[in-house]
Structure 1
């Protein structure tokens, strides 16, 4: 996983197709919901996730790993979600370790799903962005 090298050039956007991303998001719906009436499920609501601190959606019980990442400055952006999706646990552990918080980089996140395909990640991020009014 190449967390150190950005996947999107500054200002470039995701290069994803929200319509295709809606189809990809169907895989996410086993655990997540998105939209104005979304409710927490196995995973938290993803409405407004871009621009939100990790581990902070109201009423959802996050793993300590996810909470610690948010407490140490992880704010979801298109690029960080892109880096997260191939291996959520490795991403969060590396984030905390890079912040000098290796002691907090233990355990696992609840998210076991991995999305390795680059274009599908870009597409699903483009879809999620349509529900994130704070996205830049």
Structure 2
């Protein structure tokens, strides 16, 4: 019995982040992002009409940073992608809170810069959960 309780407690503790995420709330929070970002599927289906200042965020989760063809990324983000940065929950949440600081730490380069000046102060996990829903390759 104690083993079952301990196992259940471990499962619940380990899944806390999943319960904290809300894709529907993230979709609403994404309204702050769409002034710079759009979400357009590979077949051209427009999921979120948005700006073109930032890259298309279709299938962003699980994607190497700085890798959307024909988008002009900053040098530091491209370097981070070349160094192995792939967008997952941990990296996405840290990046959107402080893009410049994240890249400086990731690249161990105090001169690293990001073209993304906006910082998301809350709801990052929810936006991540929403972006998972428009990232069909996220699990592969």
TM score, norm. by length of structure 2: 0.77
Counterparts of 1:73-92 in structure 2, within 5 Å, are 73-92=84-103
CA distance in 2: counterparts of 1:71 and 1:92, whole angstroms:
13
- Which structure would you say has the larger Rg? 2
Q: 2:72 aligns with which of 46, 51, 61?
A: 61
* Larger helix share, 1 or 2: 2
CA distance in 1: counterparts of 2:132 and 2:21, whole angstroms:
10
Displacement of 1:69 in angstroms is 0.4
Question: Stretches of 4+ moved more than 6 A in 1?
Answer: none
Number of aligned positions between the proteins: 120
- Contact 1:50/1:76 (<8 A) preserved: yes
Structure 1 residue runs without a partner (length 5+): 1-8
TM score, norm. by length of structure 1: 0.79
SS of 1:85 mapped into structure 2: helix
- Contact 1:56/1:67 (<8 A) preserved: yes
Q: 2:135 aligns with which of 129, 132, 135?
A: 132
- Contact 2:63/2:87 (<8 A) preserved: yes
Task: Report the RMSD for the aligned CA atoms in angstroms.
Answer: 2.1
